């Protein structure tokens, strides 16, 4: 039987409770499709700091290195200990570190508004067009997040200068562009590339390299949009988008905006992938929403983003397409049956039942 090693890092806030549901659903999928996941849990984020003094304990990193994939919850609690330096806080010391350490340059965030959740989309029905089904392909290891210099220096009494640097090279743009074009070939064959070529040098290079890379994919239509226009087009006419190709920070911003169109940030999974080696793709799978500390531990969080992240793991790292699709369909079925966590519930929707995190996980596991 196919066996895979997974590091399950639940992290902080709602991480542990949504992770529990994702594992439940993966176990249900294992029973139906012949594969086996050896799951090892380890602390990360504030949970790592509490357990071992570091947001990414050495033992957790070592576990990740011997695993086939990482299933990640979420990290970061803004209200905890402000005296800990920024570089040691979970967002940088765990999340950004893992992205860089494993070369996870390609972040895929699929946003799909299920028909049954049209009411949870903030846009009027007419604006939803034929439906919202967008794949945000975000570059994840370059741009402003990692560019050097990155520093804050004193320029006088009480005054500072903060510098972040946006840097991209041709090879970095090419490899993420290939990911977007390949993904589009399997979808509606359109890539909208996002940049700020009217102002940024980075934008000019981005547009050139993406245009050149696109020549290898004659079956895929390529369009360019400035990022400000793209932010507006998303709310005016989201149905025009198939694959949105973005550099790191633009992708961060636009993927949250797109997620809201998909009904809730609690429904947006993501896959962060490195280069394939030996036919295998090491991946890091996490919900795109945060730790939501305000609702943590209350059985209120929507576990769907975490569950769908598990499905992406089966598809991209383990080549278990059928099982991945079964999980996605089970989510669809649970929604059609009227199961709603608070974020997607509306009292005006006939047949909708407001349920908790655990019950949503049960409904999805049962639908497999
Ligand atoms: C995301 C998050 C992270 C990012 C934060 C938590 C560092 O917003 O994954 O979108 O900015 O990449
Ligand atoms: Mg973000």
pLDDT digits 0-9 by tens, 147-163: 999 999 999 999 999 99
Q: Any catalytic annotation for residue 217? A: no
pLDDT at 282 over 90: yes
Antiparallel, parallel or unpaired: β 269-273 and 283-287: antiparallel
| Listed residues: CB within 5 A of ion ligand 2 | 252
Per-residue pLDDT tens for 193-236? 999 999 999 999 999 999 999 999 999 999 999 999 999 999 99
Q: Count other C-beta atoms under 10 Å from residue 136's C-beta.
A: 28
Q: Which of 32, 150, 228, 280 is catalytic?
A: 228
Active site residue 145: yes
Residue-wise pLDDT tens digits, 171-194? 999 999 999 999 999 999 999 999
**What does DSSP say about strands 2-11 and 35-41: parallel, antiparallel, or unpaired?**
parallel
pLDDT category at 130 given cuts 50, 70, 90 is: confident
Cα–Cα distance for residue pair 309/134, rounded to 1 Å: 16
Residues 6+ apart with CB under 8 A from 313: 6, 69, 71, 271, 283, 285
Is the model's pLDDT at 1 over the cut of 80?
no
- pLDDT value of residue 35: 96
Burial class (CB in 10 A: 0-12, 13-18, 19+), 294: exposed
Q: Please state the atom number of ligand 1 nearest to the C-alpha of residue 249.
A: 11
Cα-based distances in Å from 333 to 6, 18, 84, 368: 27, 19, 44, 9
**pLDDT value, residue 277:** 87
Q: How far apart are the first and last CA of the chain?
A: 20
SS3 of residue 109 by DSSP:
strand
Measured CA angle at 274 (ends 310, 108), to 5 deg: 50
Distance CA 255, CA 308 (A): 16
Among protein residues, the one with the nearest Cα to ligand 1's atom 12 is 252
Topology of the domain comprising 122-261? Isopropylmalate Dehydrogenase (3.40.718)
pLDDT band at residue 115 using 50, 70 and 90 as cut-offs: confident
- Predicted pLDDT at 194: 98
Helices assigned H by DSSP within the chain: 15-32, 46-52, 58-65, 90, 97-101, 170-185, 201-214, 227-236, 248-261, 304-316, 321-336, 357-367
Contact 45, 54 (CB under 8 A): no
DSSP per-residue codes, 36-104: EEEEEE---THHHHHHHSSSS-HHHHHHHHTSSEEEEEE---TTS-TTS-GGGSHIIIIIIHHHHHTT-
Smallest CA-to-CA distance from 106 within 145, 139, 69, 134 is with: 139
pTM of the model: 0.95
Candidates 3.30.70.1090, 3.40.50.12780, 3.30.230.10, 3.40.718.10; CATH matching 1-105+266-368: 3.40.718.10
Q: What CA–CA distance (Å, rounded) separates 127 from 328?
A: 25
Please say whether the beta carbons of 364 and 356 come within 8 A: no
In this model, does residue 289 exceed pLDDT 90?
no
Give the pLDDT confidence of 330-351 residue by residue, as tens digits. 999 999 999 999 999 999 999 9
Q: How many CB atoms lie within 10 A of CB 158?
A: 6
Annotation marks residue 208 as catalytic = no
Catalytic one of 252, 285, 343, 362: 252
What is the rounded average pLDDT for all residues in the chain?
Answer: 96
Residue 91 Cβ < 6 Å to ligand 1:
yes
Question: Which one of the listed residues 196, 242, 343, 362 is annotated catalytic?
Answer: 196
Name the segment(s) of the chain with CATH classification 3.40.718.10.
1-105+266-368, 122-261
Closest listed residue to residue 368, CA positions, set 317, 325, 312, 313: 325
Provide the pLDDT confidence category of residue 278 given band limits of 50, 70 and 90: confident
**For residues 58 and 27, is the Cβ–Cβ distance under 8 A?**
no
- Residue 196 annotated in active site: yes
Phi, psi (rounded to 5 degrees) for 142 = -130, -160
């Amino acid at each position: 039987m196919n066996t895979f090693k997974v590091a399950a890092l639940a992290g902080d806030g709602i991480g542990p409770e949504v992770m529990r549901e994702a594992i439940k659903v993966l176990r249900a999928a294992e029973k139906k499709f012949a594969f086996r996941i050896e799951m090892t849990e380890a602390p990360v984020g504030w949970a790592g700091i509490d357990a071992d003094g570091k947001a990414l304990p050495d033992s957790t990193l070592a576990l990740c290195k011997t695993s086939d994939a990482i299933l990640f919850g979420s990290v970061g609690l803004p209200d905890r200990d402000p005296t800990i330096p920024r570089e040691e806080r979970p967002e940088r010391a765990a999340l950004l570190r893992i992205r860089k350490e494993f070369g996870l340059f390609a972040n895929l965030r699929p946003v799909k508004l299920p028909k049954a959740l049209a009411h949870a989309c903030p846009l009027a029905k007419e604006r939803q067009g034929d439906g919202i089904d967008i794949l945000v392909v975000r570059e994840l290891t370059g741009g402003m997040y990692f560019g050097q210099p990155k520093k804050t220096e004193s320029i006088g009494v009480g005054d500072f200068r903060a510098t972040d640097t946006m840097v991209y090279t041709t090879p970095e743009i090419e490899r993420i562009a290939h990911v977007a074009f390949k993904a589009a070939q399997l979808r509606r064959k359109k890539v909208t590339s996002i940049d700020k070529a009217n102002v940024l040098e980075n934008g000019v290079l981005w547009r050139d390299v993406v245009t050149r890379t696109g020549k290898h994919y004659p079956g895929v239509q390529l369009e360019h949009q400035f990022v400000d226009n793209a932010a507006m087009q998303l709310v005016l006419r989201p149905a025009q988008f198939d694959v949105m190709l973005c550099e790191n920070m633009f992708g961060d911003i636009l993927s949250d905006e797109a997620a809201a169109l998909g009904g809730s940030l609690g429904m947006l999974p993501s896959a962060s992938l490195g280069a394939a080696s030996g036919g295998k793709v090491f991946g890091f799978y996490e919900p795109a929403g945060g730790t939501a500390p305000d609702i943590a531990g209350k059985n209120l969080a929507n576990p769907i983003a975490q569950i769908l992240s598990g499905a992406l793991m089966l598809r991209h790292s383990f080549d278990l397409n059928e099982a991945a699709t079964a999980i996605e369909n089970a989510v669809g079925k649970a929604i059609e049956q009227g199961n709603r966590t608070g974020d997607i519930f509306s009292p005006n929707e006939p047949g909708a039942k407001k349920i908790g995190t655990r019950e949503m996980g049960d409904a999805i596991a049962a639908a497999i």
